[in-house]
Amino acid sequence: ITASSSNEALIPVPVVTYTSPGDEGTLTFTPVEGQFGTSIVTVTVNDNAGIDNEGLDETTTSFLVTVLGNFPPQINELNNIQIGLNEPNVAIDLTGITAGVASDGEIVSVTATSSNQEVISAEGVEVTYTNPSETGTLTINPVTDALGESTITVTVTDDGTTDNGGVNTTQETFVIRTI
């Protein structure tokens, strides 16, 4: 008994475990991590008894395997910045926002948080983003008279699956310092 895959980049050589003259065997395969798509797996049984008297020497069966998954969403790198004391409404462009490579209509959302509420409160971090745009805006409003720094974490999430090693979230961080 042998098995093959039409897409070995997705499903490398399937493994058949069988001991003759048993009635059962096992077919196992593992999709390559991070790969998604389809493959036709074909199983061939050969009895080597010949084809005399209209006999069959082998038979095959095939079936489609669909591997679902999700590539991580993307956002371009954000750089550390300094702002003046009590500088209001600092707008930071968010670019390169996508649901990820080979994503198919996934819905993307963008959020942001501050690590130091004494410098940049939760209310002082606002994301403006509309799916499926590749751009958005992060507006920062520091706490009045607050000096210091805060790490801002921007999280991009798509509604794709995390099955089979899929990733539906990515984060980009930067430090904002008030001087």
Distance CA 144, CA 113 (A): 18
Give the C-alpha distances (Å, rounded to integers) separating 150 from 14, 95, 115, 135, 137. Answer: 51, 21, 5, 23, 18
Q: What is the pLDDT of residues 134-159, one digit of tens each?
A: 999 999 999 999 999 999 999 999 98
Half-sphere exposure of 107 (CA within 13 A, CB side): 2
Do residues 29 and 14 touch, judged by C-beta distance below 8 A?
Answer: yes
d(CA 54, CA 141): 84
pLDDT (tens digit per residue) in 38-78: 999 999 998 877 676 666 778 899 999 998 777 889 999 99
pLDDT of 105 > 90? The answer is no
pTM as predicted: 0.69
- Tokens 């093959």 belong to residue: 4
Looking only at the bridges linking them, the beta strands covering 81-83 and 169-178 are parallel
Instruction: For residue 102, name the pLDDT band (cuts at 50, 70, 90).
Output: low
For residue 171, report the phi and psi dihedrals to the nearest 5 degrees: -130, 145
pLDDT at site 178: 94
Taking CB atoms within 8 Å and a gap of at least 24, the contacts of 122-126 are 125/152
Give the whole-angstrom CA distance, residue 142 versus residue 124.
6
